[in-house]
Structure 1
Amino acid sequence: MKNRIKILRAEHDLTQAQLASRLEVSRQTINAIEKGKFDPSLPLAFKISRLFGFPIEEIFELSE
């Protein structure tokens, strides 16, 4: 799944570790999501959406 997390994280001046802490996940999880190696659970996707203030559809996009 493609996503804009790395861009949004940079815009909010957050490190992977800081974002991970806010979302209560590991830094490795954030890294894997950013690289498209791991798709977040629906509850995590909602947390990310709320944190950045964007609908899920504007953060995540299904790869074809």
Structure 2
Amino acid sequence: MDVVQLLGANVRMHRKLKGLSQEQLALEAGMERSYVSDMERGTRNPSVRALGRLAEALAVEPDALLKRL
């Protein structure tokens, strides 16, 4: 699994653990829902800023979104 797919899988996992929909996460992170969807599927290569906004919205450290579990 490459890093973009790993990031997407981790965002999805943390989002579901928090009980958030893609739309709710997107709103919290200041993104479009379609962007979150694309990223979770590994078809988007998000910027470091986007990673930070997602981590903040999910209340996790940014590195948690890049770790293999």
Does the pair score TM above 0.5? Answer: yes
Q: What residue number does 1:22 align with?
A: 28
Structure number having the greater helix percentage: 2
How does 1:1-64 map onto structure 2 within 5 Å? 1=4, 2-3=6-7, 4-60=10-66
Q: Structure 1 length normalisation: TM-score?
A: 0.81
Does 52-61 or 24-33 show the bigger shift? 52-61
Question: 1:4-40 CA deviation, whole Å, 9 max, x = no partner?
Answer: 0111000000000000001111110000110000011
Structure number having the greater strand percentage: 1
Secondary structure, aligned partner of 1:17: helix
Q: Please, which runs of 5 or more residues in structure 1 have no aligned partner?
A: none
Q: Please, which runs of 5 or more residues in structure 2 have no aligned partner?
A: none
Whole-angstrom CA distance in 2 between matches of 1:60 and 1:54: 11
Q: Is the 8 A contact 2:22 2:33 kept in 1?
A: yes
